[in-house]
Amino acid sequence: MKAIISASELASDLAGSRPPTVLDVRWQMSTAKAAGAAPFDGRAAHAAGHIPGAVFVDLDADLVAPPGPAGRHPLPDPEHFGAAMRAAGVRADRPVVVYDGGQSWAAARTWWMLRWAGHPDVSVLDGGLTTWDGPLATGTEEPAPGDFQPVPGGMPLLDADGAAALVRTGLLLDARAGERYRGEVEPIDPVAGHIPGAVSAPTTENVTGTGRFRSAAELAERFKALGATEGTEVGVYCGSGISAAHQVLALAVAGIPAALYVGSWSEWSADAARPVAVGPDPE
């Protein structure tokens, strides 16, 4: 199983005897929308052009639960998630490849969800749809129903107490932009700053200028410099568990297992009793 796959590898696999199930998870976080612009419509983008055979999956409807005390993008009910994956044609015995528009945040969250739910073979298209130079299909796909049944527990998971404990025993990485970590700005959540003891590690540094992941060696060196030495337990959070999944994916490419704090800062900062640190230093 490869955590990421190139467009040429995907094209070859699709032409083979055991083609993967391909999921299109194009999505944009609301804060990325230009002021006054219409909301991004991933389903419409899919219908306008997608990798042939790819099935659209709606992140907001199928990969997260409604926002609340557990954060802006909490885990969905496993049965709901499983039904959505079966409707998309996901089978337990067939590889899955996930892509989005190129940022790979939504694709990484889908990768993490499927791996957490027990699927053994899931990859993200490196660089997303922007790297695909083959033909595109239009309209919608009608896949044969899949048989995937979630068995949660396939990936390590943190809650707020676990994140607080990890800063004392291991390494907790904050995947948000540096200015949000330092508490200089907070465009979404009610409080600015970071979890005391967490180390700033912006997700954007996992990729090159083209949006593709850096090499495994480069990523391993990056995370080692941040404190991910051999034997260190690693966890990641972001604003709401989306870009942090991208960081977990980058760590996997580097050969480093890591836990995801799904509630992330949106859950942590919603409780006034939890401590908050500001500035460039972890504490």
Tens digits of per-residue pLDDT, 238-270? 999 999 999 999 999 999 999 999 999 999 999
pLDDT attached to residue 128 = 96
The fold for domain 4-131 equals Oxidized Rhodanese; domain 1 (3.40.250)
pLDDT attached to residue 33 = 43
Domains 4-131 and 157-268 agree in fold:
yes
Confirm whether 238 is a catalytic residue.
Answer: yes
pLDDT attached to residue 97 = 98
The domain segmentation of the chain, as residue ranges, is 4-131, 157-268
Show the low-confidence residues of the chain (pLDDT under 70).
30-37
From 45, 75, 238, 270, active-site residue? 238
pLDDT attached to residue 271 = 95
On whether the 157-268 domain is CATH 3.40.250.10, my answer is yes
Query: For the segment 219-244, what is each residue's pLDDT rounded down to a tens digit?
Result: 999 999 999 999 999 999 999 999 99
Token couple for 229? 């030495």
